[in-house]
Structures are given as structure tokens and as C-alpha cells.
Structure 1
């Protein structure tokens, strides 16, 4: 029997990219899914969609409440919603720093806070946060984004410690550069999009961008009720970038 059968999951940012891949994977494994996103058009028919801005507490609380009602409770939370930022530490004003941190870090906390009362009633409770390879590697022109994802990595461990004895596991995935719409838009602004894509592919030891479905597979591993002893883990999904040092391909 599939361990996700009947599991009630919410996915923030689940309408596109990695979030959409996670949503599809959960559905394929028999879970019931609610997506919280700014735009909820185009979702699979079996998904419960709820418009939500994770940067606003009232929006989060209303969407989580509605999702819990539609699912009959919550067992799994996938904190995937996030935004990017390009530049060095001096390229963003205070307003931009606060905007990105509010979505990528505080947004995760808002959603987690709103879902904890439901998770405490579940015997399969798990939270999986979407981090980034930027949390563990210094990437050029990613100062603000890196700060936010480093915080996600650390917050994951703190939450795991706080909620372990409540029966709630907390983990995160740290993807490398993934082939998502956001990366596609970023490449589209480059002077040489094809050359920039080749450079990003070469940066990862397996020589290509990470596929969203590969990240989704790791998310489901961490969320799987069968993995009851896995908590406080940051799982790299980056083609070996985290731990391998290969010579340049010839």
C-alpha cells in the first residue's frame, strides 16, 4: 500500500516549476493536494486551489484554513513559494531586502505557524522546505537570495528541534540550478542566453540543469511517512555540486 494514499498535503507555490512537479508527484502517489499560490489557474482538476500571498499573514491564515477545510485536515506541508534576487550586497535597498526575506523566510514561518495546529493532530506530520544550493555555496550576484536560503537551511534545523517531540518532522531540499520558468526568464535577459545556459549546466558536475521532477522525488522522500526517523536534514539535489570536485570536462 502506498504510504501517501489519503495523505493530505498543501504545496505553496504549487502552480508552476518545482511546486507543480511536487503537486503532480503527490497526486500520482495517491495524496490529496491543496495548492496555495498567487495564481491558481491551470491546476489539475483534483487539486484544491487557494489564492495566497505568503508575504501577508492574513492571506496565509485564510488560505490555510480554507485548504484544511477542503482536505479535512493537513498531514504534509511543502513550503516551496519563493522569489529570486540578482545582485551583490550593495545592489538592493532596504525595501528589496525586506520584500525577499518576507517571502522566502518569514513566508515559510507564516505558513508553518498557520498549519501547526493541524499537523499536531496528524500521525504522519511532515514539513519540507525548499532551500537552494546557494545556502551552502557562494554564488556570484546572489547575495540577497543566498541570505534568504541560508536562513531557510538554518530555520529547518531549528524547526526540526522544536517540533520533533510533537511528532512533526521538518526537512529541506537544496536544489542546484533547476530548469524552471524562473531560470528560463533569467536566461532570457542574458546577452547570450545559450552561452549562459551552457555555463550553468557546466557548473553542475552531471553537466545539466536539475529537472523539477528530480527535486519533487527528493521532496517526497523527505515527506514520506515511511521515513519517520528522517528529520533536520538538508538534502542536496544538485548533480553532485555539493560534494564532488570534478576536473573540467574535455
Structure 2
């Protein structure tokens, strides 16, 4: 089939996941979702896995773009878990292709930023981790990649700013982006050694300490200074 022909499908393919962009009518089409694990020292310690940057590199996991949920949504409490956790994160939106990007050039491929939540079946993640199994059932959870509107900041590298989260108005996480173990330049440089980064790729840069469980009826709110806010309502289990 050539490019001039219209493909015929057995059923309607899913729509492209996308996010609103502040100040623009066009939406940002989302390509891939990358997540950085244990990228704040205090969170690494609370998870029982301290990080020594002098001998370690960042590590990543991915989620399906279909897990993406817009800020302000109400999502069901997920099945097969009794320990559903919030993780507040600064999200980097990639705007240009990049492969083997040097840290000093990382700003060239940044389109902007957003606020995100990496919702996690913590009990299933820890079982998988301790048995040396993939984290998919704990992390790649339906409706678990929450993201705010994207704020265009082409070429800007955020190096500091408060990052915080509250549940039902009570602060649970509060830190600063300057406490990232691997900063944004380092993350883009490292991740682009493994992947040809593309426009629409999102990088969730890691969560600070204070992660915890939520239950149906809880409302999560979070913010990153200079970027914006994100919110999620936890609905009843299906």
C-alpha cells in the first residue's frame, strides 16, 4: 500500500494521545512515556535502594501512552492492588529529534514542561522488584500517567523550583527540582544513548520523598514552581 491509499482497518484505531498546550489551540501529540526511577536521594532511601551517582547511571521504565490521563480527571481505583501510591514529578516534553545528545546541547531539543503524577500499584511493584521481575503490573497501570497542560519553554533547562503534592489539602511531598540526582541535561544525554528521542516524547524526571497511598474519594493536587499544577480525583474501584 502506498502513501496515497487509505488504509482499511478491522476496527477504528485509537486516537493519538495528546495534551493541551498553554496559550495555543493546537495540542501536543504524545509519542512515548519515559520515567526515571529513584532520582531524588531521599526517595531512594525511603524505597530502600540508596543511589551512589559516582558508580551508577540513571535507570528508566516506560508506560504505554494509552495510560495518559489529563489533569483534573477522575479515574477508578485500579484492580488487584491494596496500596495505590502517588508520585509527583516534573515532566520534560521533547520537541525535536535527538540521538546521542551532549549534555551541553540538551536544551536544543526541549519543547517545554508539565506537571505529572506517576500513579503506582506499590504492592505489585515491590513484589516484582524483590523477585527480579519486570515492573509492568505495578507501573504500567491504566489511567496512571497523569499530566497537566504543557507549558512551552523552548530551550529552557529548569534547574530549580519547588515541587510539592498534597492529598485532600494535606502536604505529603515537598522538595526542590535542584535535588534531582541526575539533572535534566544529564537525563536527556543519557536517555538519548539508548533511544532516538522524538517530538512528543515525555520524560517524567522522578519523584521526591513522601510518596504514599490513596483511597477512593481522595483528591491529589500538585505543583512545580514556574510550570503549573496537576490534579487527580481517585474514584471507586470498578
Q: Which TM-score applies when normalising by structure 1?
A: 0.27
- Greater helix share, structure number: 1
Q: Which TM-score applies when normalising by structure 2?
A: 0.28
Identify the structure with bigger relative contact order (alpha carbons < 8 Å, sequence gap 6+): 2
